[in-house]
Copies of this chain bind each other. A is one copy, B any other.
Amino acid sequence: MMRKQLQAKIVLLFCALCWAFTAPAQLHRYVDPLIGSEGLGNVFIGPSCPYGMVKPGPDNDVASNSGYAADPAKPIYGFSQLHVSGTGGGPKYGNVSVMPFSGDLESIEQESVKSDEQVELGYYSVVLQKWGIQTEITTSDRAAFYHFAYQPEKAKAIKIDLGKFLGEPAIANPDAREAQQFVGSEIEIVSETEVRGYTRIRGGWNNGSAYTVYFSAVFDQPFTGFATWKNGELFPGQKMQIDSGEKTGALLSFGSSSDDLQLKIGISFLSPMKARANIDNEIPHWNFNQTLDENREKWESNFARVEVDPDASDELKTMFYTGLYHTMLMPVDRTGENPNWENKGPYYDDFYAIWDTYRSSSPLITLLTPSRQIDIVNAMLQIYKRDGYLPEARSGNCNGRTQGGSNAEVVIADAFVKGLQGINYKLALEAMLKDATVPPGGNEEKEGRGGLTDYNRLGYVSTNFVRAGNRTLEYAYDDYCLAIVARGIKRKGEYWRFIAQADNWQNLWRDIEDHGSRGFIMPKDARGNWVDSIQCDASNGRISYIPYTPVAQDWPICVCWWCGFFYEASSWEYSLSVPHDVAKLVEKSGGKEAFRKRLDTLFDKKLYNVANEPSFLSPNLYHWIGRADLSNERIHQIIDENFNSSRSGIPGNDDSGAMSSWLAFHLIGLYPNAGQSYYLINAPYFEKTVIHQENGNDFVIQAKNFNPKNKYIQSAKLNGNDFPKAWLEHNDIVVGGTLILEMGPAPSSWGAALPPPSKSDQEL
């Protein structure tokens, strides 16, 4: 198996020479799952299908969000079947852990340092040094495929551990915040080649209720001995460990023949038999390479939607396709696997979190595979219908948590303004109105809009509520998005109410100066008084106060991470988050020149946080003052300084692909303003990009006079006509066409005459 794999790699290397001819089948080689695996990226490095339910991979750090720590000294203790990618906070999943080892069935704990790790799209391989066992993994959507090559003459054994999961509190503490908590498990030796069971876990980052991961593990050869365990005690030959709230598992021995051992693990959220059916449906054979090939074909069909310049550097192509790859890891497609209601439509889970992904991930999916985004939005509407609220974040079949707004509104508006069909927008409006009118009460950490009573009464969220600053800003934009959908489906009453509320951000706009710029979103109490200082109770246990300035961060020193005025940001960053009315923001900041200085200060004084989503649009704000050239400069500067194809090539938590999708958009010269129908045009990194749309229409972005010195767009043509705008309507892409960008060495005034839309510029 290992040799075959190496042969395959040689063929791949050879074929790189003829890439131009066989491109559609080879884009996956530009994916490096290790980008973002070191530093802050927290990406999952194991194999997955696009939006794949099963994500098998190595676990060597129970505190790691992806299960994986780059530190080679940390031994691998198992390969579990479910992971998320790029997340922060308390880990989730890491369930149904398998571990090969050599030896007798005497010890439950088995671990080994690793060597010869090899990571490709759809493929993971490692040698467990302790026993010299090579473990290779690939996966279909709902079943993982393992190939184990043991050392000759050594006893082949496998552990299946249902007591392992990520984020377990060091000492069991059933109330530990964000920790996953063990609820129960069960294991059954069904035959001499199959083991079934489940593990049930609650908690984790989203403080979710219990979820149950069912599995079926099928081997290509019979085991010759086994022991099951419960609560640490081994029971040789006992076929069942029935759920009594204890940790269970099994050790299996396969003799010491020289044959490699293969294992398929099906996963289901319905039952162990459904898990078995998922194997039988997806991998009805023992051909590892066939499953690997099918995995890659699925990715290819997604990647092939974007054909970039074949002459671009491998580095750039790797950054781009890995960006697409990361974007398409989540949310996960669990259609037919929902244990909570009828499986009659698409079901997606692991929205983790929409606060992260609405800005660029959703728009990227919409641009490349709108059919996928339609399914995702319909799944969100089903979640609203059955669970009562749209997800803001969701994992393990349970809504939670909210970081700021009810940003599902943006996702829905984005789908609506981009013309996605097959979505019940009347139902969608109902769901958005629930967010906007029904306070979540005790569940405000879980869903809906916390502080809504304030917001709807005062027009802002007062300091009576945590995260009042970003909540106010985000609700205002969410209201804008709601209004746009309401207008589109002729619901005028709702339109007029919410388009007015879209200005609510101005209620927290305080005309103060900081670092030479004027006007910031600042805290205000429920009586309407500005609040100058914020409680800080870290000084010897006594309550103290710190002055609250636009650069202040009350969290996590003064108050808890989730308890500051802004979530994970300062006022300098968040005060620019008015994506629907940048023109008004410019005006309130003192006009174009003042705004330019403000943006320059943001970036030059390092007040901008490249790793945080609220700042995703900030480098593009120069567009609204007619300075697309400055947007270009900033964006290229940010990318060049922070992103690359190395293992630490993502400057912050990838957040389910949020960072990666931001990068991917900018590499092709487009950036969406999610919830609105246009893209900002920037200088691309590729001389040519072709978007092969699902509707059959190609859209070409072509940079003329493309070279490193010609950094600036001088002019543009769309389908041969002068195109003086630095922004492009989604529909211009949908109908197909060619956008030619004339590049040059000096800044130009291209785009200045027709800035991108703003609410206050429009006839309402």
Q: Which residues of B contact A422 (CB under 8 A)?
A: none
Q: Which of B210, B343, B385, B386 contacts A341 (CB 8 A)?
A: B210
Q: Which residues of B contact A387 (CB under 8 A)?
A: 209
Whether a CB of chain B sits under 8 angstroms from the CB of A222 is no
Q: Is the CB of A442 within 8 A of B434?
A: yes
Q: Is the CB of A186 within 8 A of B242?
A: no
Tell me whether A341 and B183 are in contact in the complex, defined as CB-CB below 8 angstroms, given that A198-B271, A245-B336, A336-B244 are known contacts: yes
Within the complex, what minimum Cβ distance (angstroms) separates A617 from chain B?
A: 31
Q: Which residues of B contact A175 (CB under 8 A)?
A: 385
Within the complex, what minimum Cβ distance (angstroms) separates A390 from chain B?
A: 11
Tell me whether A242 and B274 are in contact in the complex, defined as CB-CB below 8 angstroms, given that A181-B342, A184-B343, A340-B210 are known contacts: yes
CB-based nearest B residue for A207: B388
Q: Is the CB of A273 within 8 A of B240?
A: yes
Whether a CB of chain B sits under 8 angstroms from the CB of A212 is yes
Q: Is the CB of B339 within 8 A of A210?
A: yes
Cα distance A186–B272 in the bound complex, in angstroms? 10
Cα distance A444–B202 in the bound complex, in angstroms? 24
Tell me whether A245 and B344 are in contact in the complex, defined as CB-CB below 8 angstroms, given that A240-B273, A273-B186, A273-B188 are known contacts: yes
Q: Is the CB of B245 within 8 A of A271?
A: no
Cα distance A448–B441 in the bound complex, in angstroms? 10
CB-based nearest B residue for A212: B339
Tell me whether A271 and B242 are in contact in the complex, defined as CB-CB below 8 angstroms, given that A184-B343, A438-B441 are known contacts: yes
Whether a CB of chain B sits under 8 angstroms from the CB of A565 is no
Whether a CB of chain B sits under 8 angstroms from the CB of A423 is no
Q: Which residues of B contact A270 (CB under 8 A)?
A: 184, 186, 243
Q: Which residues of B contact A439 (CB under 8 A)?
A: 439, 441-442, 453
Q: Which residues of B contact A244 (CB under 8 A)?
A: 336, 343
Cα distance A277–B245 in the bound complex, in angstroms? 14
Within the complex, what minimum Cβ distance (angstroms) separates A737 from chain B?
A: 43
Q: Which residues of B contact A198 (CB under 8 A)?
A: 271
Q: Which residues of B contact A385 (CB under 8 A)?
A: 175
Cα distance A386–B210 in the bound complex, in angstroms? 10
Count residues on chain A whose CB falls below 8 Å from chain B CBs: 47
1/0 contact trace for A433-454 toward B, CB 8 Å?
0100011111110001000010
Q: Which residues of B contact A273 (CB under 8 A)?
A: 186, 188, 240, 242-243
Cα distance A668–B687 in the bound complex, in angstroms? 93
Cα distance A202–B186 in the bound complex, in angstroms? 24
1/0 contact trace for A208-240 toward B, CB 8 Å?
011010000000000000000000000000001
Within 8 A of B (CB), among A168-185: 174-175, 181-184
Q: Which of B186, B341, B442, B444 contacts A274 (CB 8 A)?
A: B186
Whether a CB of chain B sits under 8 angstroms from the CB of A389 is yes
Identify which of A188, A277, A336, A388 gathers the most chain B CB atoms within 10 Å of its CB. A388
CB-based nearest B residue for A446: B388
Within 8 A of B (CB), among A63-105: none
CB-based nearest B residue for A449: B441
Within the complex, what minimum Cβ distance (angstroms) separates A563 from chain B?
A: 16
Whether a CB of chain B sits under 8 angstroms from the CB of A359 is no
CB-based nearest B residue for A437: B442
Q: Which residues of B contact A444 (CB under 8 A)?
A: 441
Q: Which residues of B contact A627 (CB under 8 A)?
A: none
Identify which of A184, A186, A271 gathers the most chain B CB atoms within 10 Å of its CB. A271
Q: Is the CB of A245 within 8 A of B343?
A: yes
Q: Which of B181, B209, B443 contacts A441 (CB 8 A)?
A: B443
Whether a CB of chain B sits under 8 angstroms from the CB of A200 is yes
Q: Which residues of B contact A271 (CB under 8 A)?
A: 186, 198, 242-243
Within 8 A of B (CB), among A467-503: none
Tell me whether A442 and B389 are in contact in the complex, defined as CB-CB below 8 angstroms, given that A186-B273, A242-B277 are known contacts: yes
Q: Is the CB of B440 within 8 A of A202?
A: no
Q: Is the CB of B243 within 8 A of A274?
A: yes
Q: Which residues of B contact A210 (CB under 8 A)?
A: 339-341
Q: Which residues of B contact A441 (CB under 8 A)?
A: 438-444, 448
Within the complex, what minimum Cβ distance (angstroms) separates A274 from chain B?
A: 5
Identify which of A188, A200, A270, A274 gathers the most chain B CB atoms within 10 Å of its CB. A270
Within the complex, what minimum Cβ distance (angstroms) separates A446 from chain B?
A: 9
Within 8 A of B (CB), among A673-697: none
Q: Which residues of B contact A442 (CB under 8 A)?
A: 388-389, 434, 438-441, 443, 448
Q: Which residues of B contact A440 (CB under 8 A)?
A: 441-443
Within 8 A of B (CB), among A384-412: 385-389
Cα distance A342–B246 in the bound complex, in angstroms? 9
Q: Which of B186, B342, B438 contacts A183 (CB 8 A)?
A: B342
Cα distance A212–B214 in the bound complex, in angstroms? 14
Q: Is the CB of A341 within 8 A of B202?
A: yes
CB-based nearest B residue for A340: B210
Within the complex, what minimum Cβ distance (angstroms) separates A387 from chain B?
A: 8
Cα distance A212–B270 in the bound complex, in angstroms? 10
Cα distance A242–B268 in the bound complex, in angstroms? 12
Q: Which residues of B contact A340 (CB under 8 A)?
A: 183, 202, 209-210
Can you pick out 10 interface pairs between chain A and chain B where the beta carbons lie within 8 Å of each other?
A181-B342, A183-B341, A183-B342, A184-B270, A202-B341, A209-B340, A244-B336, A245-B336, A439-B441, A441-B441
> 6 shortest A-B CB distances, which residue pairs?
A441-B441, A439-B441, A438-B442, A440-B441, A245-B343, A243-B270
Q: Which A residues contact B (CB, under 8 angstroms)?
A: 174-175, 181-184, 186, 188, 198, 200, 202, 209-210, 212, 240, 242-245, 270-271, 273-274, 276-277, 336, 339-344, 385-389, 434, 438-444, 448, 453
Given A202-B341, A210-B340, A439-B439, 9 extra CB contacts under 8 A: A174-B342, A242-B276, A245-B344, A388-B443, A389-B442, A434-B442, A438-B441, A441-B444, A453-B453
